[in-house]
Structure 1
Amino acid sequence: MSEQHFASGPSCCEPDLDHHLEAFLSGLTQAGYAENTRRGKARRIAPFIQWTHRSGIRLCEVNDLDACIDAFLASPGRRLYKHRSALQAFLAYLREAKVLPPRPMKRSTADALRHSYLEHLQSQQGLSAHSIAAYAVSVRGFIEAMHLPEEAADLDARAIQRYLLTLSPEHAVATVKVYAAGLRSFLRFCLLKGLISRDFSTALPCIGRCQPKPMPPILGDEDIERVLATVDRSSLRGCREFAVLQLLARLGLRASEVLALRLEDLHWEQGEMLVRGKGAQFDRLPLLQDVGDAIVQYLRVARGRSDSRHLFLSRKAPRIALQDPSTISAIAHRALERAGLLPSGRVGAHIFRYSLATRMLRHGASLSEIAEVLRHRCIATTQGYANVDLERLRDVAQAWPGVQEVVQ
């Protein structure tokens, strides 16, 4: 196979692929891959490098690397699946290291519009990755349904309202509110870019709640100990779960805040930790003894070595930071289920935050004290947590004139 079959890009200086293979394999070790996995990938990649040398192929000049891999795999004795996955991983590493040019991306006009909007949220609005991800979900379906940007001129207020109404039967009220906020933001972006000539963000109605928000289930002190006791702390998985549950139960952290914790956020000598909260808010909380002990055990026994500075990593290779807050909620869900305390409905990590606020109320803490622990900027937010303590409400409820029965 000659170089002419693949090369059509600009001339370049061919990198030392053998050197980059060693760096790639070293990265696998640091990411927590087993030695036999590392050796297997080396056995499959090294012949590919030798084949490119014999064929006179310069990878930096190849436009279609997939075709190059296909040509190599056409040789006899290749186990297609394992060879292809190893080679694709190696080429991805070379792109990330900027040894090879990035893979050309073919975006539709709709994808390009969505990508431009998300870049705007990050660079101009300064939104967090969590908020950007939520808005990305909000606008994806809208762009498809409205056939944007091609039919942007046909957009009107009624069409936007009808689209939002179609979401209502399928989603919870809180989810529809997030969708509406995302659509308002996107419509303002479209106005800014000149895709539309009117500000349709005002056409979206405010999403109200027809019924009072149901009070979440509450975990008492004994329930918390029961949940923690279900964790097998002798296992690697259990060490991580126990540390996560301690952060949720003792400090009331949000799932996203647990996910964002980094090694440098733990100030052991000062006995405090930095918490990266909502809206780029940074707070310091006391590093309680039982919380610190659980984290130390996780670091010593279960975390393992990694280049990542995030505290909590995936259990399997590649050992990278956990990517989704739902992972933290899943840990909470499993622990509640093991303890026999799983209530009906969708329950995640936030039940521990509500429960901490309620337990503080029952022990005589004021709303301002609870707001400080939960890091609420507005006391009105904390008042919602106060409504969950029925026992305290019964104590202060006034008898209704003419009615003899006590509050039930």
Structure 2
Amino acid sequence: MHEEQGYRDAAVLYRDQGGDICCMKLSDLDWEKEEICIVQQKTANGLTLPMSVAVGNAIYDYVTMERPSSGEPYVFLCMTRPYRPLSEDGLRSAVPQIYRAAGIRQGKGDRQGTHLFRYHVASALAGNGIARLVISETLGHTAPKSLDCYLSADIQHLREYALSIEPFPVSGEVIPL
């Protein structure tokens, strides 16, 4: 179970549940236990995620060096006065800027929404052998069956079910085996 939880820390930053990120409070960060404890907006279920060193350092750097000084209890604030909690719309509008800064998904018709993060998290967790129930809970789903649309294009697992083409006379330069 510990290994499964170890892969869940990425979900803190790669979830589409903007409400979970926007509503996260400073009191949700347990630095001693290295955990983030939130109540999911979608399901009202509590969720405890391990806070990896990388995630903890990123949040710490933001809170101590970039977050506006404010009495607000929320972790993420708007950068203009009055310093209110970051809204879901604000989060959604920031995502394309992140894609641009990273130089990814810039082609015509490339999707850039926050929902792509959910696909990435589901595929990454599945690729690391994490149980569907754990992935489902991490994404805020109430039924593991709801993961089907996220994992349907998981190429790594699709390859496991593909038929071999070795019996056919195809050159290795055409299709790498």
TM norm structure 2? 0.75
How far is the alpha carbon of 1:258 from its aligned partner? 0.6
Tell me which residue corresponds to 1:377: 142
How far is the alpha carbon of 1:320 from its aligned partner? 1.4
What amino acid is aligned across from residue 57 of structure 2 in structure 1? D
1:362 aligns with 2:137: no
How far is the alpha carbon of 1:345 from its aligned partner? 4.5
Task: Give the Cα separation in 1 of the matches to 2:122 and 2:157.
Answer: 13
1:294 aligns with 2:49: no
Task: Give the Cα separation in 2 of the matches to 1:303 and 1:373.
Answer: 26
What amino acid is aligned across from residue 94 of structure 2 in structure 1? I
CA distance 1:297–1:246, change in 2 (3 Å):
farther
How far is the alpha carbon of 1:346 from its aligned partner? 4.2
Say which of 250, 254, 263 aligns to 2:17. 254
Tell me which residue corresponds to 1:166: none
Q: Are 1:257 and 1:275, in contact at CA under 8 Å, matched by a contact in 2? A: yes
Task: Give the Cα separation in 1 of the matches to 2:146 and 2:169.
Answer: 32
Helix, strand or coil for the counterpart of 1:304? Answer: coil
Which structure: larger Rg? Answer: 1
Q: Are 1:246 and 1:291, in contact at CA under 8 Å, matched by a contact in 2? A: no
Helix, strand or coil for the counterpart of 1:315? Answer: coil
**Count of residues in correspondence between the two structures:** 156
Task: Give the Cα separation in 2 of the matches to 1:267 and 1:289.
Answer: 13
Between 1:364-373 and 1:288-297, the stretch displaced more is 364-373
Task: Give the Cα separation in 1 of the matches to 2:35 and 2:156.
Answer: 33
What amino acid is aligned across from residue 386 of structure 1 in structure 2? L
After TM superposition, the runs of 4+ consecutive aligned structure 1 residues lying more than 6 A away are none
Task: Give the Cα separation in 2 of the matches to 1:322 and 1:329.
Answer: 10
Q: Are 1:260 and 1:276, in contact at CA under 8 Å, matched by a contact in 2? A: no
How far is the alpha carbon of 1:261 from its aligned partner? 0.5
Q: Are 2:23 and 2:74, in contact at CA under 8 Å, matched by a contact in 1? A: yes
What amino acid is aligned across from residue 35 of structure 2 in structure 1? E
CA distance 1:378–1:274, change in 2 (3 Å):
same
- Structure 2 residues without counterparts, runs of 5 or longer: 1-9
What amino acid is aligned across from residue 264 of structure 1 in structure 2? S
Higher relative contact order (CA 8 A, sep 6+): 2
Tell me the alpha carbon deviations over residues 119-150 of structure 1, each in whole angstroms, 9 at most, x when there is no partner.
xxxxxxxxxxxxxxxxxxxxxxxxxxxxxxxx
Tell me which residue corresponds to 2:98: 335
How far is the alpha carbon of 1:337 from its aligned partner? 1.8
Task: Give the Cα separation in 2 of the matches to 1:246 and 1:331.
Answer: 18
How far is the alpha carbon of 1:314 from its aligned partner? 1.0
1:174-193 correspondence to structure 2 within 5 Å: none
1:50-129 correspondence to structure 2 within 5 Å: none
What amino acid is aligned across from residue 315 of structure 1 in structure 2? M
Say which of 103, 118, 124 aligns to 1:353. 118
Tell me the alpha carbon deviations over residues 210-262 of structure 1, each in whole angstroms, 9 at most, x when there is no partner.
xxxxxxxxxxxxxxxxxxxxxxxxxxxxxxxxxxx98423xx35222111111
Task: Give the Cα separation in 2 of the matches to 1:280 and 1:365.
Answer: 23
1:283 aligns with 2:27: no
CA distance 1:305–1:393, change in 2 (3 Å):
same
CA distance 1:272–1:405, change in 2 (3 Å):
farther
Helix, strand or coil for the counterpart of 1:274? Answer: strand
How far is the alpha carbon of 1:397 from its aligned partner? 3.6
CA distance 1:265–1:377, change in 2 (3 Å):
same
Tell me the alpha carbon deviations over residues 7-26 of structure 1, each in whole angstroms, 9 at most, x when there is no partner.
xxxxxxxxxxxxxxxxxxxx
CA distance 1:363–1:246, change in 2 (3 Å):
closer
How far is the alpha carbon of 1:313 from its aligned partner? 0.9
Identity of aligned residues (%): 27
- Structure 1 residues without counterparts, runs of 5 or longer: 1-244
1:270 aligns with 2:33: yes
How far is the alpha carbon of 1:405 from its aligned partner? 11
TM norm structure 1? 0.35
Task: Give the Cα separation in 2 of the matches to 1:302 and 1:383.
Answer: 38
Tell me the alpha carbon deviations over residues 263-297 of structure 1, each in whole angstroms, 9 at most, x when there is no partner.
11111112111223113232111112111111111
How far is the alpha carbon of 1:298 from its aligned partner? 1.0
Tell me which residue corresponds to 1:309: 73
CA distance 1:253–1:299, change in 2 (3 Å):
same
Task: Give the Cα separation in 1 of the matches to 2:169 and 2:38.
Answer: 47
